[in-house]
Amino acid sequence: MDLDIKKIKEQAIKEIEGVKNSEEWEQIKNKYFSRKSGELAKLLKDIKDVSEDLRPKFGAMANQVKDELEKALDIKMSELKYKGNGNLERDFIDVTLNVEKYKLGHLHPVTQISMELEDIFKSMGFMILDGPELESDYYNFEALNIPSWHPARDTQDTFYIDPLTSSGHDPQLLRTHTSPVQVRAMQKYGAPLRCVVPGRVFRNEATDASHEHTFYQLEGLMIDKDISISNLIAVMKELLSGIFKTEVKVRLRPGYFPFVEPGFELDIQCLICGGKGCPVCKQSGWVELLPCGLVHPNVLKYGGIDPKKYSGFAFGLGLTRLVMMKYKIDDIRLLQSGDLRFLNQF
């Protein structure tokens, strides 16, 4: 019986290999697979007569042969089709043909500038941190010395996810600036601390060429013993010469932000006219770049840091604004538009 099965298989394979056209293929298929008179059907019948203990073994062998023959027939059929129907020509691929190149994208100009700045700050020992875009009223305002009654809230209207009137828990909103990460970082890492926080921020704005509901900032914070305005100016100069690749003159004017005391607006000497006066600097010789200041003692306290032992400076660089200055972009809305005709220029 063992031998019979093997013999049938060998014979069948030989015959299948010799098939030259579809009629022969059909004949061979019938010879072996016909339900009533096929060789395999006969074999299965014979297996019924084998003793019960050997039956499973022969059954399995017969099934295996059946599978192998089916496969061999399939292969033969595809060979016949391929040769017979001229598919060779149809399947021909001209591998020398030029195809359109796969177009790779690139980083958004805001991301590019953010990464450049991150490198500069890393070289000065700053950590790069992240914070939630969906922020609580507490971190966005309260812990930055802006209580609910404070008029400074009016300058930063935003989108409230959970209205201010809801009771029992801290209202949720889209953060209006990256400054809330100051307090989060202080609470997490304590002092001394050096970090920058690039990120997306939101305002409830009527949009026009210079206002957008979504834009990017880079927050900076340095806390240590005896930090003063000199440290602030030194770090700012290092940053600016890193960005503009030349030494930049800076000046500080008083500015008001509830979370710094004293607070400043930092201006840079106009790089277009070298300070002589031109349309870009509105003939003043100076261009406003970023707000900054020494961290308010109340904010240090919210962060769990003792203002008697430590002091620090903070600044808020407008990344979107910096990109606009660098590339002379005159409409802020282009940056969020996703318009490839615009983006492909960078």
Choose between 32 and 257: whose C-beta lies nearer to ligand DAH: 257
Binding flag, residue 140, ligand DAH (CB under 6 A): no
Residue 326 falls in which region: left (phi positive, over 0), alpha (psi -120 to 50) or beta: alpha
Quote the least distance from Cβ 201 to ligand DAH, whole Å. 7
Binding flag, residue 177, ligand DAH (CB under 6 A): yes
Choose between 47 and 332: whose C-beta lies nearer to ligand DAH: 332
Choose between 43 and 140: whose C-beta lies nearer to ligand DAH: 140
C-beta nearest to ligand DAH: residue: 316
CA–CA separation, 84 vs 103, rounded Å? 41
Choose between 61 and 235: whose C-beta lies nearer to ligand DAH: 235
Figure out which of the listed residues 28, 314, 324, 335 binds ligand DAH, where binding follows CB under 6 A. Answer: 314
8 A C-beta contact, residue 204 and residue 213: yes
DSSP assignment of 206-227 equals --BTTB-SEEEEEEEEEEETT-
Binding flag, residue 292, ligand DAH (CB under 6 A): yes
Figure out which of the listed residues 109, 199, 293, 312 binds ligand DAH, where binding follows CB under 6 A. Answer: 293
- Give just the sign of the alpha carbon dihedral 298, 303, 308, 314: negative
CA–CA separation, 94 vs 25, rounded Å? 33
Quote the least distance from Cβ 295 to ligand DAH, whole Å. 8
DSSP assignment of 225-257 equals TT--HHHHHHHHHHHHHHHHSS---EEEEE---
Unique residue bearing structure tokens 């005896």: 226
Choose between 145 and 179: whose C-beta lies nearer to ligand DAH: 179
Task: Count CB-CB contacts under 10 A for residue 19.
Answer: 20
Choose between 32 and 139: whose C-beta lies nearer to ligand DAH: 139
Quote the least distance from Cβ 292 to ligand DAH, whole Å. 5
CA–CA separation, 34 vs 21, rounded Å? 19
Binding flag, residue 179, ligand DAH (CB under 6 A): yes
Q: Which positions touch ligand DAH (CB under 6 A)? A: 177, 179, 219, 257, 260, 291-293, 314-316
